[in-house]
Structure 1
Amino acid sequence: MRKNQTSAPLSLTDTLTPGVPLDQIGRTLASFYDNLVSEGVPEHLAALVRRVRQTETSEPAQVEAAAAATGAAHPRVALVVEDDPEIRALAETLLEETELDVIGCDSAEAALSVLQARGGEVALVFADIRLAGAMDGLQLARAVATLWPRARLVVTSGHTLPRPELPREAVFIAKPWRPLDVLVEAERAAAEPAPPIL
């Protein structure tokens, strides 16, 4: 007669294949994930990437919280993604009136590079639909909503856009946008606490 065996819950160090820890697999997936966003990645993979990034950043998050308590927190960032240099400069100048630091990009690829380096500091992503480069603003918006859900997402365009095309979290502002509308979204991004990662 066989004895009943109770199995312990799996931890991140358990392996799928001998010698390869799950957390290592997750980190590898995370490193390739950003390149796959434009092709459409299943939500379960996106959830795994968020879990891995969350566990990797849990210790730095505690350090950041301690720094915030002493008043030495990192500055929060507004990311302006617009391929028209004049409109980008106008948005940057406008957002410099807020407490956010401003970084301008002309393409989604450049914006993703900034997000990879400073994603935890980005409070606002203000992006046009039409951009220089291979990715458009909708693809960028989906990537931001999936990988950096703490950033407030504002999408703009001179063309009407059906709501189902935008991520649920995104706010749409039609061009020509009013400076007050942009400032209101920036103030919300700066003032509201970041939502928790689910």
Structure 2
Amino acid sequence: MQLDQIGEALASCYDNLVAEGIPDHLAALVRRVDRSHPSEPERDLRPEPRVALVVEDDVATRDLAESVLEETELRVVGCDSAEQALSFLQEKGGDVALVFADIRLAGAMDGLQLARAIATLWPRTRLVVTSGVEPEPGTTLPDGAVFIPKPWRALDVLLEAERAARDPSPPVS
């Protein structure tokens, strides 16, 4: 039985239930199920798409990465610095499935520092770090992070986005 049919059945019984003394909390529930009730706006119950966060200070490269990632089911957000990315993550970190970040960024923090912070604070976020130069010897990426050298191939970025989108969303706490 579909939700609409259940709502209609409950609504048709509502008057009889009120006459028999239905508790207020149950009456409120019946009103919420009744989709035709004029005081309750209809809401879209589909979950918000998860986010791919592109962190790149070069506008052309960021635009290209955003265009590639827009071909996925992820919602794409661009940032030009690690600080801007962290600000976004503080608000929406649980929604972020993928962070695609350049190592060299404008601002005080570089992409490796950003990746380490994300790995600590949002460990379920998939991390992809990119650069036109290899990371310096002795530099380690956080566990699970992937390095894709520039110039990267769109297919490599899309594969990482697919892996991120496929991972289940973290439980809501």
- In the TM superposition, residue 169 of structure 1 has moved relative to its aligned partner by 1.7
**Distance in 1 between residues matched to 2:99 and 2:160, nearest whole Å:** 10
Gaps of 5+ in 2: 1-43
- 2:124–2:170 CA contact under 8 A, matched in 1: yes
- 1:154–1:172 CA contact under 8 A, matched in 2: yes
- 1:124–1:151 CA contact under 8 A, matched in 2: yes
Compute the TM-score of the two structures, normalised by the length of structure 2.
Answer: 0.69
**Distance in 1 between residues matched to 2:119 and 2:145, nearest whole Å:** 8
Aligned-pair identity in percent equals 73
2:133 counterpart of 1:148: no
State how 1:93-172 maps to structure 2 within 5 Å.
Answer: 93-161=67-135, 162=137, 164-172=139-147
- In the TM superposition, residue 191 of structure 1 has moved relative to its aligned partner by 1.1
More helix by share: 1
Gaps of 5+ in 1: 1-69
2:170 counterpart of 1:188: no
**Distance in 2 between residues matched to 1:194 and 1:158, nearest whole Å:** 31
Compute the TM-score of the two structures, normalised by the length of structure 1.
Answer: 0.61
Counting matched residue pairs gives 127
Q: CA separation of 1:94/1:79 partners in 2, compared to 1, >3 Å: closer, same or farther?
A: same
After the TM superposition, which of the residue ranges 159-168 and 170-179 deviates more from structure 2? Answer: 159-168
- In the TM superposition, residue 72 of structure 1 has moved relative to its aligned partner by 2.1
Q: CA separation of 1:146/1:164 partners in 2, compared to 1, >3 Å: closer, same or farther?
A: same
- In the TM superposition, residue 103 of structure 1 has moved relative to its aligned partner by 0.3
